[in-house]
């Protein structure tokens, strides 16, 4: 059928408010259905961080939203509408493309230097309208990146909005809380003087940055400016006039439209922090600046509606209003709560999370003469559905690939379908581990908690169980702000009976859990595939309208990483060690491959482990050091940021079970523990076993007793360290046996041979009676010097552990489907009696080869060639992208990952993928290797150059005779330093940290 002339206004998370007097816009009478046969106009208003309870028509009482309430009164209000993600960038990706962001592995906010995250050849909602002869424009927040590679902010900013179907763009390039604090018009910085270019300075505050609008803590968090130049452009950007500016620009564009139908996408910065309403809105609500910002949003919507009325097209307008995700419990949200307002109503959870409060959002549709006024719909819909809906509105036929995950929900706006339009919906929270699937009444979350923010009230990034309890939400898994120790491993809720998710039914409906878990696994990020082009539409299939999943992959390989502590390059027999005997690791090398140029990313434990977990150089993620020491200590306020995506989390998206048994050392506060970073199971210690009252410098450090944990529960204090290797191995064996019928990732970071050395009794055979007697006489103290004598025995027990794990794999029928890698976290300590780096110079803590080149063996029968060493440069950072490839998972695309896929290198099909490898000592960039050459710098200046092919021991400095090589490597160092400055991410910190105790 031909749709009657109308304007379709889609107000997504934007808030419609009347003029400053509080009066709503006056609606025109509805026209007859047989009016002008011209195509409908469409206006889409997409608000930011607007929660389910932030509107009067959705129950708010401490603020007023007359314009939006009038939209609901004259249209239809949806009560089961969802954003594609609980996070801004992936939500916008889903809206524009009709594709779940999980398909592209987009999870977090796009960083400052992000390229355009939407393929310019992919069909978007703007393309749908443009292909039907519409004028198209986007105003407001973009936050999907620019360019094809790292965005250096050089103009033109292409590809960008103009390459995704928009004729015109004016708005904020990222978000109102992050730089650059300028407007972009089309593909250029607005009002920029050509003699004063915008220059990105990197992610460090500097006095060179251009001044921006002064704000106070009351307004909420805002990132400092990281740009210099463009003074005139910066001056035009005022936080307190953002809303009014975007309203003025978008309404002026409407006035300028003539005969062609138009599509307007207005993506407001309201109500994202910082909360900066214009002066006339300040103090107008009963819930602080948060409510005042909502009032301004409501006014913006009123301005749009008044403009449509003035132009004579309001009676032909379909208005849709929704939000990009749920409300955030930041300081503004907390103050609003204190004053009696609940941003997400009674729903559980917050922005970034998998609970309903993170993604169930307001959604209002108004179209006089087509949508019955004052009605409510319970249909399950999503913002990804706009693509198919707009195609139906403009009578276009799209191919299945073009439609992606979108469903035509126009019937739910205009009538009452007899059956659900959607069978399945997938929602992406911030953490891949918490990918959520909805099927009818059931919603399933594949992990504990909500997978979003976890900060306590009082901090900006507040959320999770602690804040759920704080606001009075009830959930059967939560007690006193924490997940219960006996809570189920995942979550199942019946939303028809329990929309506020008070009761986890995981244990009560195992068959439903199985079905939902299998359904969720089908949506794991797929391997890259061809992007459907904008043209060549094809008939769509019936199945496309029901949100069906991709086919499940076949059984994936298992991965085992055995990671010892302080073991040197020469501390294996197969690497030339005469002071040790390692027959099982030697056998593993004979059946697999020795990697003789395999590196860790730091010469000490915390940063080395951070790199393995994230695939990133430690300095890139703020983990090059502890808070005030080279590594993290007990009760440290710092830890691996939960926003990082770990190797365990990547593999969980592909249906893997994940277990870790051993030493963690990436933060001992609850927010940082392994079970919060993607591991289903954990048994071990939070840091090195010498961080304990027996430390030689205990008078200085005052370390608390050492805790032994199972998952997040302290099960022992001061465990007998003689049995650590044995107990860790037993847990690893049990994990393999329990998960032999499903793919798994097993991480075994042994605390040994870090000093003091410990060995269980069966491996003490051959130790002299004097040493045995001395150790028995320790009486609660530790004799480090005597324990140095049992190094051979400690390595023998590690070798036994490796053999036991390999035997278990074989006995379980997994030998030929398991990738096993053995390596160490850094080189040997300097004053060790026996541990050594073999032919390498240096030791733990140094950036000579002995500190970071590790004895490494890899084995996968039938896949990795056996018996021949591989001297190509590879690193622990490469494990994340390599395992992801082999598992059919995808790595995050919203951040820089330094690791490379080394599978072609391992099987001999390619050389190293690394053009250069960089060595950090703490936060200092100290060396670079490229090919056979390695350059050391001192205070940034070239100091030593070595030919590692002919001088592995770094004995002969050849810097004087190779100036061109020195220059080339110096350029690598400078480029890398610039990249780190431009593309780094912070570690996380907690307030009032406490040591673990039972």
Across the chain, which distance is largest between two alpha carbons, in Å? 103
Q: Which two tokens stand for residue 619?
A: 């300095």
Distance CA 662, CA 915 (A): 33
Distance CA 510, CA 36 (A): 56
Distance CA 132, CA 554 (A): 42
Which of these, 126, 82, 95, 98, lies nearest to 406 by C-alpha position? 98
Say if residue 547 is exposed, middle or buried (CB neighbours under 10 Å; 0-12, 13-18, 19+). buried
In the three-class reduction of DSSP (H, G, I as helix; E, B as strand; rest coil), residue 211 is classed as coil
Question: Do 225 and 181 contact (CB within 8 A), yes or no?
Answer: yes
Q: What is the DSSP letter of 81?
A: E
Q: What is the distance, to the nearest Å, from the Cα of residue 534 to the centroid of all Cα atoms in its chain?
A: 29
Q: Residue written as tokens 């100036």?
A: 963
Which of these, 910, 892, 894, lies nearest to 902 by C-alpha position? 910
Q: What is the 3-state secondary structure (H, E, C) of 430-459?
A: CCHHHCEEEECCEEEECCCCCCCCCECCCC
Per DSSP, helices labelled H in 1-106 are 66-73, 88-97
Look up 574 and say whether it is catalytic. Answer: no
Q: What is the DSSP letter of 70?
A: H
Q: Cβ contacts of residue 323 below 8 Å, gap of 6+?
A: 12, 13, 46, 47, 48, 49, 50, 51, 83, 361, 362
Question: Do 488 and 506 contact (CB within 8 A), yes or no?
Answer: yes
Question: Do 139 and 249 contact (CB within 8 A), yes or no?
Answer: yes
Q: What is the DSSP letter of 228?
A: E
With DSSP H G I counted as helix, E B as strand and the rest as coil, what are the percentages for the chain, rounded to 5? 30, 15, 55
Q: Which two tokens stand for residue 143?
A: 């936050």
Say if residue 554 is exposed, middle or buried (CB neighbours under 10 Å; 0-12, 13-18, 19+). exposed
In the three-class reduction of DSSP (H, G, I as helix; E, B as strand; rest coil), residue 415 is classed as coil
Catalytic residue among 82, 234, 341, 665: 665
In the three-class reduction of DSSP (H, G, I as helix; E, B as strand; rest coil), residue 215 is classed as coil
Distance CA 208, CA 206 (A): 5
Which of these, 427, 440, 415, lies nearest to 546 by C-alpha position? 440
Q: Let me know how long the chain is.
A: 998
Catalytic residue among 6, 287, 605, 616: 605
Look up 665 and say whether it is catalytic. Answer: yes
| Residues annotated as catalytic (active site), given as ranges | 605, 665
């Amino acid at each position: 059928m031909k749709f009657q002339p109308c304007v379709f206004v889609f107000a997504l998370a934007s808030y419609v408010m009347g003029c400053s007097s509080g009066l709503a816009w006056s609606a025109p009478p509805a026209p007859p259905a047989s009016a002008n046969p011209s195509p409908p106009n469409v206006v889409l208003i997409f608000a930011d961080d607007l929660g389910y309870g932030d509107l009067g028509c959705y129950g708010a009482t401490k603020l007023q939203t007359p314009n939006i309430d009038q939209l609901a009164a004259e249209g239809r209000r949806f009560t089961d509408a969802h954003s594609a993600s609980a996070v801004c960038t992936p939500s916008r990706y889903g809206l524009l493309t009709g594709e779940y962001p999980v398909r592209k592995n987009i999870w977090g906010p796009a960083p400052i230097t992000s390229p355009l995250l939407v393929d310019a050849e992919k069909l978007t909602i703007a393309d749908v309208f443009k292909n039907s002869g519409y004028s198209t424009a986007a105003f407001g927040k973009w936050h999907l990146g620019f360019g094809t590679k790292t965005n250096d902010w050089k103009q033109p900013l292409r590809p960008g909005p103009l390459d995704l179907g928009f004729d015109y763009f004016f708005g904020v390039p990222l978000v109102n809380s992050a730089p650059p604090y300028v407007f972009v018009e089309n593909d250029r910085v607005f009002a920029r003087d050509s003699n004063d270019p915008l220059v990105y300075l990197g992610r460090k505050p500097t006095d060179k940055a251009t001044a921006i609008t002064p704000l106070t803590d009351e307004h909420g968090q805002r990132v400092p400016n990281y740009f210099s130049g463009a003074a005139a452009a910066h001056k035009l950007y005022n936080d307190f006039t953002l809303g009014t500016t975007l309203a003025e620009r978008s309404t002026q564009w409407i006035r300028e439209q003539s005969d062609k139908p138009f599509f307007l996408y207005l993506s407001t910065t309201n109500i994202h922090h910082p909360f900066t309403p214009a002066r006339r809105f300040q103090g107008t609500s009963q819930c602080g600046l948060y409510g005042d910002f909502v009032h301004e949003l409501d006014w913006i919507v009123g301005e749009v509606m008044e403009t449509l009325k003035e132009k004579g097209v309001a009676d032909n307008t379909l208005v849709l209003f929704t939000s990009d995700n749920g409300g955030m419990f930041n300081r503004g949200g907390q103050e609003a709560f204190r004053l009696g307002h609940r941003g997400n109503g009674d729903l559980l959870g917050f922005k970034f999370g998998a609970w309903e409060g993170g993604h169930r959002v307001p959604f209002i549709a108004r179209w006089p003469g087509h949508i019955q006024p004052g009605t409510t719909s319970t249909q399950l819909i999503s913002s990804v559905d706009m693509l198919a809906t707009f195609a139906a509105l403009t009578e276009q036929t799209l191919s299945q690939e073009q439609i992606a995950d979108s469903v035509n929900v126009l019937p739910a706006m205009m009538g009452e379908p007899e059956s659900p339009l959607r069978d399945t919906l997938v929602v992406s929270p911030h953490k891949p581990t918490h990918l959520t699937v909805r099927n009818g009444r059931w919603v399933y979350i594949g992990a504990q908690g909500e997978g979003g923010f976890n900060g306590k009230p009082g901090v900006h990034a507040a959320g999770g169980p602690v804040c759920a309890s704080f606001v009075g939400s009830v959930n059967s898994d939560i007690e006193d702000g924490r997940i219960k120790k006996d809570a189920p491993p995942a979550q199942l809720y019946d939303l028809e009976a329990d929309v506020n998710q008070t009761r986890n039914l995981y244990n009560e409906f195992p068959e439903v859990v199985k079905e939902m878990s299998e359904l969720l696994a089908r949506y794991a990020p797929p391997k890259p595939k061809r992007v459907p082009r904008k043209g060549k539409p094809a008939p769509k299939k019936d199945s496309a309208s029901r949100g069906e999943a991709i086919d499940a992959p076949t059984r994936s390989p298992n991965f085992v990483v055995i990671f010892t502590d302080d073991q040197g390059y020469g501390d294996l027999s197969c690497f030339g060690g005469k002071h040790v005997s390692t027959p099982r690791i030697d056998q593993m090398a004979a059946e697999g491959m020795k990697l003789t140029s395999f590196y860790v990313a730091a010469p000490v434990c915390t940063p080395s482990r951070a790199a393995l977990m994230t695939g990133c150089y430690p300095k890139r993620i703020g983990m090059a050091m502890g808070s005030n020491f080279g590594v993290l200590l007990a009760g440290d306020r710092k830890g691996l940021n939960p926003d990082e995506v770990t190797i365990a989390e990547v593999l969980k998206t592909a249906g893997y079970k994940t277990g870790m048994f051993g030493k963690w050392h990436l933060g001992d506060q609850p927010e940082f523990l392994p079970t919060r970073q993607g591991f289903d199971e954990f048994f071990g210690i939070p840091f090195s076993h010498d961080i304990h009252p027996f430390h030689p410098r205990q008078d200085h450090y005052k370390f608390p007793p050492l805790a032994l944990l199972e998952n997040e529960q302290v099960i022992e204090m001061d465990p007998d360290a003689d049995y650590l290797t044995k107990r860790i191995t037993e847990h690893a064996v049990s994990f393999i046996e329990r998960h032999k019928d499903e793919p798994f990732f097993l991480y075994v970071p042994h605390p040994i041979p870090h000093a003091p050395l410990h060995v269980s009794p069966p491996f003490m055979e051959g130790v002299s009676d004097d040493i045995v007697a001395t150790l028995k006489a320790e009486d609660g103290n530790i004799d480090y010097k005597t324990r140095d004598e049992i190094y051979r025995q400690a390595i023998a027990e590690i070798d036994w552990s490796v053999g036991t794990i390999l035997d278990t794999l074989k006995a379980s029928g997994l030998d030929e489907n398991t990738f096993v890698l053995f390596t160490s976290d850094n080189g040997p300590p300097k004053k060790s009696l026996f541990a050594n780096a073999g032919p390498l110079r240096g030791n733990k803590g140094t950036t000579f080869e002995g500190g970071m080149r590790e004895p490494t063996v890899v084995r996968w029968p039938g896949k990795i060639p056996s018996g021949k060493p591989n001297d190509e440069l590879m690193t622990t950072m490469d494990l994340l992208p390599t395992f992801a490839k082999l598992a059919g998972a995808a790595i995050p695309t919203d951040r820089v990952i330094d690791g490379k896929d080394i599978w072609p290198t391992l099987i001999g099909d390619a050389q190293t993928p690394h053009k250069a490898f960089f060595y950090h000592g703490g936060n200092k960039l100290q060396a670079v290797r490229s090919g056979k050459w390695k350059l050391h710098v001192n205070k940034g200046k070239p100091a030593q150059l070595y030919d590692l092919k002919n001088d592995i021991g770094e004995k002969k400095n050849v810097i004087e005779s190779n100036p061109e090589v020195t220059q080339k490597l110096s350029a690598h160092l400078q480029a890398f330093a610039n990249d780190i400055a431009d593309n780094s991410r912070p570690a996380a910190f907690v307030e009032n940290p406490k040591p673990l105790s039972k």
